[in-house]
Amino acid sequence: MTKFKSLLQKLNQILLTSICCVAFLGLFLSFKTVPAAASQDEIIVEWLQFSVPEDEQALFITKEIEIWDPVNRRSPDYIGKELWQNDKQPDQLTMINYWHGKNHRQNITPAMVEKAEKDFDIAVGKTYKILESKTFKQLFTDSSLLDKK
């Protein structure tokens, strides 16, 4: 039983890593680098931190993408998202959503958000509270970051 549990945890970690890599690669390939001062359309970063036990992270990520991506994509200003796991606290996930401009949620109604929250909670079987939420605006990105492989 212990070997099975260990194997299940390793498979869970591989799945989580694969999902994160695919999500990051998709965002990375679609990201355009322009100093914010030269652009009328600034990048807004929504930073959300969750407590998600490591063995629940694959389901959390799968349902997050399945339920929230269609909602976020209703906004033409939605760029994409990244999900990060804290090395020192593996039960902590940080989600980073990227948007163009301050009116990024103009096509997403409170009713849509409420429905997505409810659907997500049902799909994962519980409510994951947001531990911390921050919003940033991008001032500069070093274009050499996009050139590295």
List, as one string, the DSSP characters of 127-142: ---EEEEEEEE-----
Q: What is the pTM of this model?
A: 0.68
Tell me what the mean pLDDT of segment 8-29 comes to: 51
Examine the pLDDT at 100 and tell me if it is beyond 80: yes
Arithmetic mean of pLDDT over the chain? 80
At residue 140 the predicted structure's pLDDT band, cuts being 50, 70 and 90, is confident
Fold of 2-147: Alpha-Beta Plaits (3.30.70)
Pick from 119, 124, 100, 98: which is nearest to 46 by CA?
A: 98
Provide the residue ranges of all domains of the chain, joining segments of one domain with +.
2-147
Instruction: Provide the pLDDT for residue 139.
Output: 85
Number of separate helices (H) and strands (E) present in the chain: 5, 4
Instruction: Provide the pLDDT for residue 144.
Output: 72
Read off the DSSP letter of residue 137.
E
Examine the pLDDT at 52 and tell me if it is beyond 80: yes
d(CA 5, CA 62): 21
Instruction: Provide the pLDDT for residue 143.
Output: 75
Examine the pLDDT at 134 and tell me if it is beyond 70: yes
Greater model confidence, 6 or 32: 6
Instruction: Provide the pLDDT for residue 2.
Output: 66
Examine the pLDDT at 67 and tell me if it is beyond 70: yes
Examine the pLDDT at 39 and tell me if it is beyond 60: no
For residue 142, the tally of other CB atoms under 10 A from its CB is: 8
